[in-house]
Amino acid sequence: MEKNIGDVASTSFVTLYCHAIETQSEHPVLKDPKSVEITTELNKTLAQSDDPLDRMLVSGTIDRNLVVHIALRAKRYDEYARDFMNRNPRGVIVNIGCGLDSRFLRIDDGTMIFYDLDLPEVIEVRKRFFEETDRYHLIASSVLEFDWMDTISPQRGPFLFMAEGVFMYLKEGEVKSLVLNLREKFPGSELVCEEVNSFWLRKPVKALLNHKIRSRVHLGKDAVFQSGIRDEREMEHWHPGIRFLDEWSYFDTGEEKLGWLRMLGHIGWIRKTQWTVHYLLS
């Protein structure tokens, strides 16, 4: 199988391999056996490739801090999902920009309805490893082509929309339009999304940041952070029905595997360089 996908879609391979590496490490932060199964299979093809990203993935040489960050994030999003289902036993979860993540397998309680949405090229890969059922569904669409919302609207909800490592790849106007549409079509829903602080996305810092991120994991030129928010309250100004609930940063975990980075979490602007925000859309 060829990994013939765009630069932004390729980021899903990086997070998948982070899950697999962490799962196989000592005292794993995240237990994701499906990621090990998928990467073992993908390695058979990627091992033939000369692409620097593929070589990094197959050799398992992803930056250790990145691996821990991504694993902590997935674990926290699993908790957000479980908490939502505990509060809303008939709830529906939509994982926007799911990549090759296996959240449904990690958290399935035997009754939940779960949708994984990503670009068609990613869903094509996903279909090799995940089968749809009456409770687990795949949506092959850009999140910005809002027709996908009609697919899920027959469900009663309430809905939890999760966007883990996705919004930063969209333009500011696109994120705003998406969130406003979600609020309008699914009133009472919740949104958990990761954000980059827009402070870091001003020229010329933006170009430096993007260069650093891309070269760290050998991503192509189109895998760039496009937008962010100044602070967690910014989205509330988009519509009076958008209400900030809580936020989370990797640093809050105090996870030992973060090493000396743990100390930086006390510095507010570092804690919120890239962090997660939880909203009610009513």
Ligand X SMILES: C[S@@+](CC[C@H](N)C(=O)[O-])C[C@H]1O[C@@H](n2cnc3c(N)ncnc32)[C@H](O)[C@@H]1O
Site residues, ligand X (CB under 6 A): 8-9, 11-12, 15, 97-99, 101, 118-119, 122, 142-144, 164-166, 169
Contact 41, 92 (CB under 8 A): no
Extract the runs of DSSP E, i.e. beta strands, from 119-210: 136-140, 159-163, 189-196
Nearest to 80 by CA among 103, 50, 97: 103
Q: Give the shortest CB-263-to-ligand X separation in angstroms.
A: 26
Cβ distance to ligand X smaller for residue 204 or 257: 257
Task: Tell me how far apart the alpha carbons of residues 95 and 92 are, in angstroms, rounded to a whole number.
Answer: 10
Cβ distance to ligand X smaller for residue 28 or 241: 28
List the beta bridge partners of residue 75: none
Cβ distance to ligand X smaller for residue 121 or 236: 121
Q: Give the shortest CB-206-to-ligand X separation in angstroms.
A: 18
Q: Give the shortest CB-101-to-ligand X separation in angstroms.
A: 4
Cβ distance to ligand X smaller for residue 118 or 232: 118
Q: Give the shortest CB-40-to-ligand X separation in angstroms.
A: 17
Q: Give the shortest CB-165-to-ligand X separation in angstroms.
A: 4
Cβ distance to ligand X smaller for residue 49 or 226: 226
Task: Tell me how far apart the alpha carbons of residues 82 and 89 are, in angstroms, rounded to a whole number.
Answer: 10
Q: Which residues contact 34 (CB under 8 A, 6 or more apart)?
A: 102, 105, 129
Cβ distance to ligand X smaller for residue 164 or 195: 164
Length of the chain: 282
Kindly provide the b/e burial profile for residues 52-88, where b requires at least 16 CB atoms within 10 angstroms of the residue's own CB: ebbebbbeeebeeebbbbbbbbbbbbbebbeebbeeb
Return the amino acid letter for 8: V
Q: Give the shortest CB-266-to-ligand X separation in angstroms.
A: 26
